[in-house]
Structure 1
Amino acid sequence: MDILRPAARRYSGAITRPDRWATWAPRDGDILVCTPPKSGTTWTQTMLAMLVNGGPELPAPLGAISPWVDADLGVGPAEVARTIEALPGRRVLKTHTPADGFPVWDGVTVVAVYRHPLDVFFSLRKHIANRHVGEDHPMKGPVSEALARFLDGPMDPEDLDNDALAIVVHHYLQTARSGRVPGLVLMHYADMIRDAEGTLRQLAGAAGIAVSDAAIAAIAEASGIDAMRGKAELYAPVGGTGFWKEDAAFFATGGAGNWQGQLTEADLAAYEARITALIPDPEARGWLERGAGG
């Protein structure tokens, strides 16, 4: 595969390992889902995996057929490379790394998904509550204290897996607003909720997948949050391993606007000040928060 642009920056973290990009030898037609955490990654992977496989029944758990390419999850890189290579046909892979952190390949479709940062924050709180981590974790504190840490945290390329608004915004600016990826498929979680079938048609069109209306309807139903929660061991990352207290709780609520009514006026003022400083352009800021249909 020809590289149109090499990686321009290295990002690493507690899980993220830039050397892991070498485990994937892209094929023409491969799809890379590129999102910040808690922004619709698993949902988008599921939709695409079902589209690629021609219907709602997947041949294996999502994590087995749609690997997180640049994450160290306790499996050696050689084994990961063998696993990715053994997947038939075109593959759907995942990353949380911004687009300047990996090569842009000719023939690879990149799908980027974003979500209102305050929905990301509350989803992160539920995510941490469902993990076996200590009670001193910053996301487990009172809402205002946890939010202040989220708002004030830096964008450190060597600590990409930290929970910070600056990291979400940096991902958005380097991926969605940079023009780095030709043909980038840009989506917003709120728009996906408003029209799941339209989302599937957009994804199918961008990936060049022919699909019937009946298949679209079946996939929309099978990839809905209730359906995925009901089979959480198949869809949650590392489901069935005990990593989560409850696999089903990974799909806690979904939705958009869950933050409304949960913050004080001071919290909201602090958020507005920080997001405006990070994204001065009101149009760009508005799209990150609300999508095209907001």
Structure 2
Amino acid sequence: MRISLMGSCQSCSGAVFSARRTKQLPYAETCWDRHSGTEMHDYKSDQARILAPALRRYRGRRTDPNRWGTWVPRQGDILVCTPPKCGTTWSQTILAMLIHGGPNLPEKLPFLSPWVDADLGVSADNVQVALEAQSGRRVVKTHTPADGFPVWEGVTVIAVYRHPLDVFFSLRKHLTNIKDIDPDDPGLQTVTQSIRSFIDGEVNLENFDQDSLATVILHYQETVSSGRVPELKLFHYADMLRDGHHAVKALAHAAEIDANTALIDRVAEATAFDAMKANAAQYAPVGGTGFWKLDANFFDSGTSQKWEGKLSDHEVARYSARLAALLPDNEARAWLENGDVPATTK
């Protein structure tokens, strides 16, 4: 299910959706108070049934498939599944605030909504205990494609994508902000060297954290093109940037959170780029732990078309040719780069 943020309609309070409304899940009838947005149901006994097992194991410097066991999914849980630097933390924060009734979250976002299959220096036991202690709906994240985890009944999977060249330039800034980064990482080389590595890089399931155009496309193919996840909710970063307020509405709709206008307004204001950057220690993964040189730099610019004026025509042409080879479907390529908003309007 692709979510479009263009246009408006009364039935969804301002956001238009390009596919039919999803069938209501059993938990949706009792879990929300329409006026307060507060949780009315304890989910601890609602363990989600596995409909299909994982098909692959992805691992890397951070990614550890053995850590999936830290999260025992319940019906009503939400899994944000994106390639790196595609609005993961932004989406998590919006969803967490919607679930908890406003911007004042009970814990820092990484504690409340962990990257479940990654080792960022927090023990697996601590992550598991923190997740099990939450009695309501939970939001977790992964950068692993959908064939790397089971399909669960009643778990909402939200996927967000971004123009691959925006991913590339955001990754470069991201890597320079990590204290213990490998100085030989291709992302730290000159733009000319780095873009060559990004374009030409191949997928290595044992080193999946080495991001490349191929890993972004594999993520899209195994998560979206495969049709593996029933009722997958699909978003594009550029569409979300175009109207953050509508993005909050659309995420609430996708997750079947019955949020009123006042809650939508407060969450939209609190999750604007400048607001999140100003409170980076609360929202950045492992924020406040010294993992980053500066927590605030985790939030770089919140913009699109970062490559303009930075890549040569030849480099852009090489990228386009490689993208077409990896993802032959013209419509899929157009959406992956531009979302539902024409490129000329961004």
- The answer to whether the superposition gives a TM-score over 0.5 is yes
> Who is 1:34 aligned against?
81
Q: Provide structure 1 residue ranges, at least 5 long, that are not aligned to the other structure.
A: none
Calculate the TM-score normalised by the size of structure 1.
0.97
Whole-Å separation in 1 of the counterparts to 2:172 and 2:112: 28
The 5 Å alignment of 1:248-263 reads 248-263=296-311
Match of 2:251 among 187, 203, 207: 203
Whole-Å separation in 2 of the counterparts to 1:145 and 1:275: 18
Pair 134,23 (structure 1): closer, same or farther in 2 beyond 3 Å: closer
Residue 180 in 1 paired to residue 228 in 2?
A: yes
> Who is 1:221 aligned against?
269
* Amino acid across the alignment from 2:263: A
Query: Which deviations, in whole Å up to 9, do the C-alpha atoms of 1:122-155 show, x marking residues without a partner?
Result: 0000001112235433212111110000111111
Whole-Å separation in 1 of the counterparts to 2:66 and 2:294: 31
The 5 Å alignment of 1:92-171 reads 92-132=139-179, 133=181, 135-171=183-219
Match of 2:318 among 270, 275, 280: 270
How big is the alpha-carbon RMSD for the aligned residues of Structure 1 and Structure 2?
1.1
Pair 251,70 (structure 1): closer, same or farther in 2 beyond 3 Å: same
Query: Which deviations, in whole Å up to 9, do the C-alpha atoms of 1:149-187 show, x marking residues without a partner?
Result: 011111111111112110010001110111100111100
Secondary structure of 2:206's aligned partner: coil
Query: Which deviations, in whole Å up to 9, do the C-alpha atoms of 1:29-53 show, x marking residues without a partner?
Result: 1000000000100000000001111
Note the C-alpha offset of 1:246.
0.8
Whole-Å separation in 1 of the counterparts to 2:221 and 2:325: 13
How many pairs were matched up? 294
Query: Which deviations, in whole Å up to 9, do the C-alpha atoms of 1:6-46 show, x marking residues without a partner?
Result: 11111111111111111211111100000000010000000
> Who is 1:65 aligned against?
112
* Amino acid across the alignment from 1:70: D
Note the C-alpha offset of 1:261.
1.6
Q: Which shows bigger deviation, 135-144 or 98-107?
A: 135-144
Whole-Å separation in 1 of the counterparts to 2:116 and 2:290: 21
Residue 10 in 1 paired to residue 57 in 2?
A: yes
Pair 2,136 (structure 1): closer, same or farther in 2 beyond 3 Å: closer
Contact 2:102–2:266 (CA<8 Å) still a contact in 1?
yes
Whole-Å separation in 2 of the counterparts to 1:271 and 1:234: 36
Note the C-alpha offset of 1:77.
2.4
Pair 8,134 (structure 1): closer, same or farther in 2 beyond 3 Å: closer
Note the C-alpha offset of 1:206.
1.8
Contact 2:241–2:302 (CA<8 Å) still a contact in 1?
no
Query: Which deviations, in whole Å up to 9, do the C-alpha atoms of 1:43-73 show, x marking residues without a partner?
Result: 0000000111111221111101001111112
Percent identity over the alignment is 57
Calculate the TM-score normalised by the size of structure 2.
0.83
Residue 236 in 1 paired to residue 284 in 2?
A: yes
Secondary structure of 2:56's aligned partner: coil
Residue 22 in 1 paired to residue 69 in 2?
A: yes
Note the C-alpha offset of 1:96.
0.4
Q: Provide structure 2 residue ranges, at least 5 long, that are not aligned to the other structure.
A: 1-47
Whole-Å separation in 1 of the counterparts to 2:122 and 2:101: 29
Query: Which deviations, in whole Å up to 9, do the C-alpha atoms of 1:272-294 show, x marking residues without a partner?
Result: 11111101111111111011123
Whole-Å separation in 1 of the counterparts to 2:125 and 2:270: 33
> Who is 2:327 aligned against?
279
Secondary structure of 1:111's aligned partner: strand
Secondary structure of 1:60's aligned partner: coil
Secondary structure of 1:253's aligned partner: coil
Note the C-alpha offset of 1:237.
0.8
Contact 2:160–2:235 (CA<8 Å) still a contact in 1?
yes
Whole-Å separation in 2 of the counterparts to 1:78 and 1:192: 34
Secondary structure of 1:9's aligned partner: coil
Whole-Å separation in 2 of the counterparts to 1:66 and 1:208: 18
Q: Which shows bigger deviation, 67-76 or 95-104?
A: 67-76
